[in-house]
Amino acid sequence: MERGAVYSNADLLTWGAANACRIGVDIVTSTDKPAVSVVVPSVGRPTRLFLTLSALCRQITSDQFEVIVVDDSADRRTIADVTDSLDRPLPLRTIHTGGLGAASARNAGARAARGQLLLFLDDDTVADDLVIERHILAHSRNEVTVAHGVVIDLTAFTSAAEPVPPARRLTGLRDRHLELEDLGNLPLAARRLGPRRSFIERTAQAVVADDRYESLRWLLCIGTNTSMPRALFEKVNGFDTHYDRRWGGEDLELGLRLMAAGAQFTSIDATAYHLPLARGDVSQVLPAFWRTVAERQGRPPLAMVGDFLCGDIPLETLAAHLST
């Protein structure tokens, strides 16, 4: 195999995914126009990324997607070590952004995409084997759909730092762990790993279930397990890189602009499991981020989104203020 060439899954089965990744070839499905491009931004979480990619290796629709890992770290070798370790072929390409932040990394992945659908998946989110198939079905009748699947936090890992050196299993509280053997039956494995819905996931379900919150359905545009047509993403110019490396809602801010562009948001039965790390700066970062959004868009009430995400005001209050 030669660097820069394009090979099929049949070639990969002969050559091996690890060797193909090692020399940096573009790996694609049986056609060079996959239905879905899965964009996975990554920085500093190689063990979680290994589990994320290993789960994608086990998708039912193995011939309809490609994976684009966007390496936003300084050390390129880390991602290569992960891809070299995969136990099954995966239609994967890696691009490097070198520390520009989540918004820029996701945009870079979208620009490199061959698929007409974009599925954004974080590097700490392990997808059940039907996730890609369910996202494809969600877009079969509507060209302006934004689909968000179920994301379940596995709280056993909230204090589980990345292993050094990277490992093939992640160990959390009370020696509970997730490894390759668990990926064949994630719902069963999740039962012993502290499954729960995060605040934003519960919010997403609430705005779908209640027509009073129809104008807030952009809150489904959570940065992982969310898909949309590439054309729709490009119509709103993707993620806003004005916020640089700041964290606090660049995904939801995209949802706000998608709704203004006519997107229809839906929740789908496509479950992925999040391997979270606790953050201690939420109460400062979220309000500051949304104050900036409010100033940038000239809509002062948007600053209240940060208050809501911190749990300081209820959903009813947010809806009332944003409707004025």
pLDDT (tens digit per residue) in 161-180? 898 788 999 999 989 999 99
Categorize the per-residue pLDDT at 128 as very low, low, confident or very high, splitting at 50, 70 and 90: very high
Q: Are residues 66 and 104 in the same domain?
A: yes
Mean pLDDT of the chain: 89
Q: Inform me whether the pLDDT recorded for 182 exceeds 90.
A: yes
pLDDT at 2: 37
Span 143-159, average pLDDT: 97
Q: Are residues 96 and 160 in the same domain?
A: yes
Q: Are residues 268 and 295 in the same domain?
A: no
Is beta strand 226-229 parallel, antiparallel or unpaired with respect to 117-120? antiparallel
Q: Are residues 198 and 313 in the same domain?
A: no
Structure tokens at 169: 């299993």
Question: Which comes out higher in pLDDT, residue 17 or 132?
Answer: 132
Comparing C-alpha atoms, which of 133, 132, 171 is closest to residue 40?
Answer: 132
Q: Are residues 307 and 262 in the same domain?
A: no
Q: Are residues 284 and 158 in the same domain?
A: no
Distance CA 291, CA 213 (A): 22
Residue 227 CB neighbour total at 10 angstroms: 29
Question: Which comes out higher in pLDDT, residue 23 or 140?
Answer: 140
Domain count, the chain: 2
Comparing C-alpha atoms, which of 233, 264, 226 is closest to residue 127?
Answer: 226
pLDDT (tens digit per residue) in 223-260? 999 999 999 999 999 999 988 676 679 999 999 999 99
Q: Are residues 97 and 185 in the same domain?
A: yes
Residue 115's domain is classified under what CATH number? 3.90.550.10
Q: Are residues 17 and 158 in the same domain?
A: yes
Q: Inform me whether the pLDDT recorded for 192 exceeds 70.
A: yes
Residue 144, domain member (yes or no): yes
pLDDT at 247: 67
Q: Residue 137 contacts by C-beta under 8 Å, 6 or more apart in sequence?
A: 268
pLDDT at 77: 82
pLDDT (tens digit per residue) in 36-78? 999 999 998 999 999 999 999 999 987 899 999 999 988 788 8
Q: Are residues 195 and 298 in the same domain?
A: no
DSSP class of 127: E
Distance CA 23, CA 33 (A): 22
Please check whether residue 146 is in contact with residue 226, taking contact to mean a CB–CB distance below 8 angstroms.
Answer: yes
DSSP class of 304: H
Span 192-211, average pLDDT: 97
pLDDT (tens digit per residue) in 275-314? 998 877 788 899 999 999 999 999 999 999 999 999 999 9
pLDDT at 17: 37
**Residue-number span of the structural domain to which 84 is assigned:** 6-278
Q: Are residues 302 and 269 in the same domain?
A: no
DSSP class of 97: -
300 three-class SS: helix
Question: Which comes out higher in pLDDT, residue 100 or 134?
Answer: 134
Dihedral sign (CA 38, 238, 320, 312): positive
Span 113-132, average pLDDT: 98
Q: Inform me whether the pLDDT recorded for 222 exceeds 70.
A: yes
Distance CA 319, CA 302 (A): 10
Q: Are residues 181 and 285 in the same domain?
A: no
Span 154-167, average pLDDT: 91
Residue 59 CB neighbour total at 10 angstroms: 21
pLDDT at 10: 37
